[in-house]
Amino acid sequence: MEFNKTRLDGVVIVTPELFGDDRGFFMETYNISDFAGAGIPESFIQDNHSRSSRGVLRGLHYQYPNWQGKLVRVLRGEIFDVAVDIRGGSPTFGQWLGVTLNEDNKQQLYVPPGFAHGFCVTSETADVAYKCTTVYRPQEEACILWNDPDIGIQWPLDSPLLSGKDAKGMSLQEAARNLL
């Protein structure tokens, strides 16, 4: 596996080694020793799978005070995946990173605890699988508005399909006050 650090401390793009022939392919998507060796010591304790249609945007979600890290990959289709640093005192607070994950590049994005996460679907449909470092606690979930101008994410769509919860996300500044 190849681990590429990004400009946001802790966010890593993971590219599995692919073994393929005319029958198909095999790849290892997670190995605790490889991840720990790359500086990702977290253990994953919950796996999730979502399916969404083109134009759906999910996020920007985070869980607090029991932060949740995620290892995200696409099984089918394509997404634009985003991590936003919301760690208090971080030199990159409020900065974002976006990457395209799809069934062809087979890359994964590790979003560490302390980040908000979201994605939008750029293919007809997308199946997204992600491992989590803590269990989901609905009472701790929060959402930052997907188009907050203080963050300035350059999403590849203008009018996403949002859940009611995501449409009512708070601003980055409001989230920062809640995290103090």
Per the residue annotation, which of 61, 62, 110, 117 is the catalytic one? 61
Amino acid at 54: R
Rounded Cα–Cα distance for residues 19 and 26 (Å): 5
Rounded Cα–Cα distance for residues 82 and 137 (Å): 21
Tell me the helix, strand and coil percentages in the chain, rounded to 5: 10, 45, 45
Question: Does residue 65 have a cis peptide bond before it, meaning omega lies within 30 degrees of 0?
Answer: yes
- Give me Rg for the CA atoms of the chain: 16
Rounded Cα–Cα distance for residues 150 and 167 (Å): 17
* CA separation, residue 80 to residues 28, 40, 66, 91 (Å): 22, 22, 26, 24
Per the residue annotation, which of 62, 110, 117, 130 is the catalytic one? 130
Rounded Cα–Cα distance for residues 77 and 64 (Å): 30
Active site residue 130: yes
Active site residue 61: yes
Give the catalytic positions in this structure: 61, 130
